[in-house]
Amino acid sequence: MRPTWKGSISFGLVYIPISVYPATREEKLSFRQLRKSDLSPIKYRKVAEADMKEVPADQIVKGFEYERGRYIVLSDEDFEKVRIESTHSIDITDFVDLELVDPKFFYKPYFLEPQKGGEKAYALLHKALSGTGKIGIAKVVIANREYLAAVKPDGLFLVLELMHFASEVLTPEELNRPKTELNDKELKMANTLIESMSSEWQPEKYRDEYRDAVMEMIETKAKNKALPAAPVAAPRSTNVVDLVKVLQESINRSQSGRVKRGGNGATGRRRSTSSLVKQKRRAAA
C-alpha cells in the first residue's frame, strides 16, 4: 500500500517523521448511464447556461458566487497566494481528554507509520497518549486544504483522524425533545432487554447486505437467468399500545434466540438477510 503522503508529527520541540496511509475504504457500487437502444455509455458535456454551447477546457475558470448571479473569478495564481505554509507537518497544538470530545467531530482516519529515525519518539508518544487517555489536536494540510485533526493511539499504531471544525457540527436545537415520564418498571425492562442483546463488538460480522444482494442480482442477470420475485415484507405495526408488553416480548424473543444459537453452536447463528435471499434465489432457479 502506497502512502497518501509523507511528513512529520511535531509538538513543542519534538519532530517525528511519519508516513500516512488510508485507514478505511468506501465500497460503493458504480453504475454507468447507457442509451437504452444499444447500451452505449452516456458522456457528459460541459455547457454554458447562457447559450447551452459546449465550453472547451481552456475556457473554463473557477468562480465564487458571492451574491446571487454575481461571481468573483479566481485563478491558480490567486490560490497560490493563500497556500498554507506548513504542508507536510501534523502540528499538534493541544492535548485534550478524548472522552471530552464529541464523537461527531471525527470523520476520517489515517494510519501513521514511523519512518527511520522516528521510531522511539513515535513509541513514546503512543504510550503517553494511551496512558493518559488524551489525544493531540492538530492542524494538517492535505492537498492544499487545511484540516483540523486528532492524533490518537489505536492498537499498536497512531492514527490521524480528520475532524470537523466547530462551525460544521450541527446542534439539535430545532428538534422536538421528547417530554414523557418513565416509571421504574419500564426502565428496568429496557435495561434487561439491552443486557439480553449485549455481546462483544465483532465488526466483521456486520456486512453490507444490500451490496451483497445487488451483486448477486448482477451475477444472476449476467448469466441470463431470471430473477425471483421480490419477497413481500411483513407490515410493521406503528401503533404501540402497551410498551411493557412489547418490551417483555422483545426480551423473550432475544433470550430464545440466544438459547438456539448457543445450543446449535456455530451453525445455529442467526442467518443474515443476504443468506436468506441467496437461499430463495437458488430455490427459484
User: Does residue 112 lie in a domain region?
Assistant: yes
The model carries a pTM of: 0.69
> Do 164 and 250 lie in a common domain?
no
Q: Is residue 63 part of a domain?
A: no
Supply 82's cell numbers: 493563500
pLDDT at 284: 45
User: Does residue 164 share a domain with residue 247?
Assistant: no
Based on the fold, state whether residues 217 and 135 are members of the same structural domain. Answer: no
Evaluate whether residue 38 is within a structural domain.
no
What lies within 8 Å, CB to CB, of 42 at 6+ separation is 32, 33, 34, 35
C-alpha distances (whole Å) from 76 to each of 17, 61, 73, 88, 143 are 30, 9, 10, 21, 14
What are the 10-residue block averages of pLDDT along the chain, 285 residues in total?
86 86 82 89 90 92 90 85 70 95 94 94 96 95 86 95 92 77 85 86 84 84 82 64 74 74 47 47 47
Q: Do residues 157 and 271 share a domain? A: no
Q: Which residues, in sequence order, are bridge partners of residue 73?
A: 63
Cα(255)–Cα(249) distance, rounded to whole angstroms? 10
Domain membership of residue 138 (yes or no) is: yes
Q: Are 122 and 261 part of one and the same domain?
A: no
* Element spanning 67, H or E: strand 62-67
Residue 95 sits in the same domain as residue 191: no
215 and 144 part of one domain: no
**Which pLDDT score is estimated for 266?**
41
- What pairing do the DSSP bridges indicate for beta strands 157-163 and 14-22? unpaired
Q: How far is CA 120 from CA 5, 66, 89, in A?
A: 21, 50, 18
What angle, rounded to 10 degrees, do the helices at 184-196 and 243-264 form? 20
The CATH number that applies at residue 94 is 2.40.290.10
The CB density around residue 86, as the number of other CB atoms within 10 Å, is 14
Domain membership of residue 271 as a residue range: 184-198+207-229+240-284
User: In this predicted structure, what is the pLDDT of residue 128?
Assistant: 96
**Look-up of cell digits 445455529:** 268
Q: For the chain, how many structural domains are there in total?
A: 2
